[in-house]
Amino acid sequence: MGVHHLPADLPAFLIHAQRQPFVLGQFDCSLVIADWWLANHGVDPAADIRGTYSSQAECNALLRQHGGLPRLIARMARRVGAVRTADPQPGDFAIIRAPTLWAAAIRTPTCRWAVKEGDGLTAIRSPLRVVAAWSITKEN
């Protein structure tokens, strides 16, 4: 597998994400990966949902409407031409299953998964499962 060449600075992006407060509909786990795609490609895969929910009840209703978090993220990825990968590299994004949550996450340079939770990022070394992953690059 070739080396990823990311236009955006992943460590700087993760530091920025770490410092931002968690706000549903503005800066949550799904929107962080959308922001990462936007930083790399200039297109927002979450433009249609960004700012449309601000409470957990509204978020849950949105997720139900789209068939759950994995389907929502898959739809966002398809919309912008993201390519599925079985070998996620730093900068790639995924839906992961951890012991206490399902989440949208970004693969870090230390091969952990960064998930926006609370007022920081949670680094998950070994999720129970990587449900689906996409390359941040558009190469096939």
Residue 49 has pLDDT above 70, yes or no: yes
Three-state DSSP class for 89?
A: coil
* Cross-strand partners of 132: 95
N residues, the chain: 140
Q: Domain ranges in the chain?
A: 10-135
User: What is the per-residue pLDDT across 51-110, written as a single tens digit (0 to 9) for each?
Assistant: 999 999 999 999 999 999 999 999 999 999 999 999 999 999 999 998 878 899 999 999
C-alpha gyration radius of the chain: 14
- 40 with 8: CB under 8 angstroms? yes
Distance of CA 64 to the CA centre of its chain: 18
Specify the pTM.
0.89
Whether domain 10-135 has CATH 3.90.1720: the reply is yes
* Cross-strand partners of 98: 101
Three-state DSSP class for 103?
A: strand
